[in-house]
């Protein structure tokens, strides 16, 4: 199935009891046993499994071309389950530029638990090879990265991981399965914050992990989902699945708007740098063009002058909203260093923009007036 069809039909069958075209929300915590004590319909208790969660997982697995998917209550819960499925003493290679919550998870939760990790610049796959240790079990990629839009070559890094006997996981939140399918490029695991483009309307938190194979590692992550308990509610799953139905069309429109905004900003005298892989001048453009179908809706800019000037630009936007997060229909702008806190290595003059689905001319006019 093409993504346009899978997003509407995978996991989404006509309700067998009532014929409802849109699935009901199964707001139940528990399910009846048969007289012999068995669970003939497969469901026991909603932490273990719920029809809405099963629909979402089936659809996400189909979109990524995976064998199975495990859904969580947030992107970070999904990421943590992958790290927790490793063992204390194992080593992880992670990007130097990544969603700050992933970096904090490794530094402040997983390292005290016993996981070793290194952070490397993944724009050069050789940096990953150089960071390998005998106990390296996982290479974690985020591409395009957050907030610098660095591009990592998934196929090259997955091959380095494979030869070292390590798993390769890709945080595919920014690209979405519409524009990047890491399992086809050799990765073993794909992680999503469904909070972002997949939900798509800034109204639901969620996360998911998709596996190329339904193997012991995937089973361990499912065990952590059920027994750790960071599960999404039936309504969360319903909202995420409702968002997915328009995902391919939304993502393409986000990307079409983003390239126009990026081109405008690249020409602007007050902007020192535009980080957007769709620009031919972006150092990762060639790799992105090879491994992505479109370049996403996220970009970052560095404003001439420094932090105060960047803050002043963010203060003046009228249509674009000053808020964190991304992937919703509305455009958002954010001074990233201040949300990341004292450990941030993000340039202080950097603003991150989630380009929404407003008319691009209105977004450009808004930025133009904010830059005067």
Ligand X SMILES: *Cc1c(COP(=O)(O)O)cnc(C)c1O
**Interface residues toward ligand X, by CB under 6 A:** 74-76, 99, 101-102, 142, 146, 171, 173-174, 193, 195-196, 205, 207
Q: What is the dihedral of CA 169, 171, 176, 179, to 10 degrees?
A: -60
Q: Which is nearer to ligand X, 144 or 264 (CB)?
A: 144
171 annotated active-site:
yes
Please identify which of the residues 171, 188, 236, 366 carries the catalytic annotation.
171
Q: Which is nearer to ligand X, 132 or 180 (CB)?
A: 180
Contacts of 12 (CB under 8 A, 6+ apart): 23, 55, 59, 241
196 annotated active-site:
yes
Q: Which is nearer to ligand X, 186 or 207 (CB)?
A: 207
C-beta of 22: minimal distance to ligand X in Å? Answer: 25
Rounded Cα distance, 107 and 132, in Å? 18
**What's the sign of the alpha-carbon dihedral 142, 143, 145, 150?**
positive
Kindly state the tokens that stand for 307: 């932090």
C-beta of 372: minimal distance to ligand X in Å? Answer: 31
47 annotated active-site:
yes
- Chain residue whose CB lies nearest ligand X: 75
C-beta of 40: minimal distance to ligand X in Å? Answer: 35
Please identify which of the residues 123, 181, 196, 250 carries the catalytic annotation.
196
Please identify which of the residues 47, 220, 273, 316 carries the catalytic annotation.
47
Rounded Cα distance, 22 and 13, in Å? 8
For the beta sheet containing 207-211, the strands, ordered from the edge strand earlier in sequence to the opposite edge, are 68-72, 207-211, 189-193, 167-171, 136-142, 91-95, 116-120
Q: Which is nearer to ligand X, 234 or 328 (CB)?
A: 328
Rounded Cα distance, 224 and 221, in Å? 5
Q: What are 322's strand-pairing partners?
A: 333
C-beta of 79: minimal distance to ligand X in Å? Answer: 6
Please give the positions annotated as active site. 47, 99, 171, 196
């Amino acid at each position: 199935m093409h993504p346009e069809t899978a997003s509407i039909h995978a996991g989404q069958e006509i309700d067998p009891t009532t014929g409802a075209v849109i699935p009901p929300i199964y707001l139940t915590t528990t399910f009846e046993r048969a007289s012999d004590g068995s669970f003939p319909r497969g469901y026991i208790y909603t932490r273990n499994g719920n029809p809405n969660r099963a629909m979402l997982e089936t659809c996400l697995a189909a979109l990524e071309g995976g064998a199975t998917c495990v859904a969580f209550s947030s992107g970070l819960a999904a990421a943590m389950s992958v790290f927790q499925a490793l063992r204390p003493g194992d080593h992880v290679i992670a990007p130097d530029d990544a969603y700050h919550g992933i970096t904090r998870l490794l530094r402040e939760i997983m390292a005290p638990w016993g996981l070793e990790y290194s952070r490397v610049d993944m724009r050069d796959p050789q940096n990953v090879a150089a960071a390998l240790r005998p106990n390296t079990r996982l290479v974690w990629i985020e591409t395009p990265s957050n907030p610098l839009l660095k591009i990592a070559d998934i196929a090259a890094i997955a091959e380095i991981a494979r030869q070292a006997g390590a798993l390769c996981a890709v945080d595919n939140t920014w690209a979405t399965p519409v524009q990047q399918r890491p399992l086809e490029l050799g990765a073993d695991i794909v992680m999503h914050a469904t909070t972002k483009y997949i939900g798509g309307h800034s109204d639901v938190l969620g996360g998911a992990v998709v596996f190329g194979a339904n193997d012991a590692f995937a089973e361990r992550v499912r065990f952590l989902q059920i027994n750790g308990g960071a599960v999404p509610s039936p309504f969360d799953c319903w909202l995420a699945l409702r968002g997915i139905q328009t995902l391919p069309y939304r993502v393409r429109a986000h990307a079409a708007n983003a390239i126009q905004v990026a081109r405008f900003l690249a020409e602007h005298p007050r902007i020192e740098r535009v980080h957007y892989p769709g620009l031919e001048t972006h150092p990762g453009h060639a790799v992105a063009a090879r491994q992505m179908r479109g370049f996403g809706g996220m970009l970052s800019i560095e404003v001439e002058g420094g932090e105060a000037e960047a803050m002043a630009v963010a203060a003046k936007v009228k249509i674009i909203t000053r808020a964190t997060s991304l992937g919703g229909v509305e455009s958002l702008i954010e001074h990233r260093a201040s949300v990341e806190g004292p450990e941030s290595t993000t340039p202080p003059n950097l603003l991150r923009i989630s380009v929404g689905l407003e008319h691009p001319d209105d977004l450009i006019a808004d930025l133009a007036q904010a830059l005067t």
